[in-house]
């Protein structure tokens, strides 16, 4: 007979398999109302959609479905928006749910929904920038991987709020990383849940593997880029992933990829400008992040 933790894990797998929507912040919902009204440019609409993980996935799943019959897989939101047209986009965005102001403002043991939304967006922007700087080319999957980097944690908060609250309390009381507490409560961590979701959405294998290997492990492909992007986003005030501890980067990974102190300072300078632009669109994230320590689990 399955124990409670095994049953909970099976329920998580079931939810992820059928996952099609997660509430968005109020300011994103207001922006979504512009989609399909012909009042915005393709670039404006693309920016709205790619600010939120689930909107991005909805659009990419739709454009890559058999209904469109495209000869290749689309991974770029701007291209997807141009191909889909306003009517289809309006239909995709018509039933998006929204957090209440109370849900946005609530802080539990350092975890806040707006803070994790900002952190996901900040990580996406940083991952795209870092990858472009070290490879000299643009790879839209890096942006998507950054945007989805916290999706497993958001799933737990949205669909299993009582158990997630228990994980937050456990992490706080015993001074654990949230990832460690998630394993204790759910029998699985949020990275694995993100991996399940990515596989269910039929995202590319390298992208799925990156989601299963971040939060400090950084041993698969460019998952270290997502880790570094998340650290930079948080250090520059773009929200938090909800954990009280930083997950350290894999030893030697920056040196191996030619990242020096000077390189990192360049990233910070460019991200300062990029995040200033984001704040002008979405406002400031005023959550006070607790002082963090390094996680050793």
DSSP secondary structure, 13-74, as one string:
HHHHHT-----B-HHHHHHHTTTTTT-S-HHHHHHHHTTSHHHHHHHHHHHTSTTT--SS--
Q: Is 106 inside a domain boundary?
A: yes
**Quick one: average pLDDT of 51-68?**
88
**Is 81 in the same domain as 114?**
no
Which H/E stretch holds residue 228?
A: helix 223-235
Band of pLDDT at residue 276, cut at 50, 70 and 90: confident
**Is 89 in the same domain as 236?**
no
Q: Is 8 inside a domain boundary?
A: no
**Is 87 in the same domain as 109?**
no
* Domain C-terminal end among 74, 93, 112: 93
**Is 200 in the same domain as 255?**
yes
Task: Note the pLDDT tens digit of each residue in 225-265.
Answer: 999 999 999 999 899 998 887 777 878 888 888 899 999 99
At 268 the pLDDT is 93
* Domain C-terminal end among 93, 122, 148: 93
How remote is the C-alpha of 25 from its chain's centroid?
A: 14
**Is 207 in the same domain as 271?**
yes
CATH of the domain at 188: 1.10.3210.10
**Is 43 in the same domain as 128?**
no
Q: Is 7 inside a domain boundary?
A: no
At 236 the pLDDT is 92
* Domain C-terminal end among 75, 93, 111: 93
Scanning the structure block, which residue is given the tokens 């890559």? 64
SS (H, E, C) 166-225: HHHHHHHHHCCCHHHHHHHHHCCCHHHHHHHHHHHCCCCHHHHHHHCCCCCCCCCCCHHH
At 92 the pLDDT is 81
How is residue 112 annotated by DSSP? E
> What value does the mean pLDDT of the chain take?
85
**Is 69 in the same domain as 136?**
no
**Is 64 in the same domain as 209?**
no
**Is 74 in the same domain as 129?**
no
Band of pLDDT at residue 288, cut at 50, 70 and 90: very low
Per mean pLDDT, which range of 184-193, 237-246, 270-279, 288-297 is the poorest? 288-297
**Is 142 in the same domain as 201?**
yes
**Is 272 in the same domain as 151?**
yes
**Quick one: average pLDDT of 40-49?**
81
Take residue 267 and report the two structure tokens written for it.
């990233």
**Quick one: average pLDDT of 71-87?**
87
* pLDDT of 56 above 70: yes
* pLDDT of 37 above 90: no
Dist CA 155 CA 19 (whole Å): 9
**Is 266 in the same domain as 211?**
yes
Range of the domain at 279: 101-294
Q: Is 137 inside a domain boundary?
A: yes
Task: Note the pLDDT tens digit of each residue in 83-108.
Answer: 987 778 878 877 778 888 888 888 99
Q: Is 191 inside a domain boundary?
A: yes
Q: Is 161 inside a domain boundary?
A: yes
Calculate the alpha carbon distances from 82 to 48, 94, 145 in Å. Answer: 14, 19, 22
Q: Is 277 inside a domain boundary?
A: yes
Q: Is 12 inside a domain boundary?
A: no
How remote is the C-alpha of 229 from its chain's centroid?
A: 11
* pLDDT of 287 above 80: no
Calculate the alpha carbon distances from 294 to 82, 176, 253 in Å. Answer: 43, 10, 17
Number of structural domains (the chain) is: 2
């Amino acid at each position: 007979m399955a124990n409670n933790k095994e049953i909970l894990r099976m329920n998580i797998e079931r939810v992820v398999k059928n996952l099609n929507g997660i509430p968005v912040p109020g300011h994103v919902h207001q922006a979504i109302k512009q989609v399909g009204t012909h009042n915005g440019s393709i670039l404006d609409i693309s920016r709205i959609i790619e600010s939120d993980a689930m909107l991005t996935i909805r659009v990419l799943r739709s454009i890559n479905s058999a209904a469109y019959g495209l000869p290749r897989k689309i991974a770029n939101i701007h291209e997807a928006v141009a191909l889909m047209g306003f009517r289809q986009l309006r239909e995709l965005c018509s039933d998006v749910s929204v957090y209440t102001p109370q849900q946005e403002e609530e802080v539990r043991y350092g975890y806040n929904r707006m803070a994790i939304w900002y952190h996901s967006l900040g990580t996406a922007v940083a991952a795209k920038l870092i990858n472009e700087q070290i490879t000299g080319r643009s790879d839209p999957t890096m942006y998507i991987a950054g945007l989805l980097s916290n999706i497993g944690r958001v799933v737990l908060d949205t669909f299993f709020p009582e158990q997630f609250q228990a994980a937050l309390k456990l992490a706080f009381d015993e001074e654990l990383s949230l990832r460690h507490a998630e394993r204790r409560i759910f029998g699985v961590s949020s990275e694995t849940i993100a991996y399940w979701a990515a596989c269910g959405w039929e995202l590319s294998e390298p992208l799925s593997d990156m989601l299963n290997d971040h939060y400090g492990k950084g041993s698969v492909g460019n998952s270290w880029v997502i880790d570094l992007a998340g650290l930079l986003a948080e250090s520059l005030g773009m929200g938090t992933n909800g954990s009280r501890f930083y997950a350290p980067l894999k030893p030697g990974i920056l040196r191996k990829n030619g990242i020096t102190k000077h390189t990192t300072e360049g990233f910070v300078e460019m991200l300062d400008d990029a995040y200033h632009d984001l704040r002008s669109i979405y406002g400031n994230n005023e959550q006070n992040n607790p002082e963090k320590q390094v996680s050793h689990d």
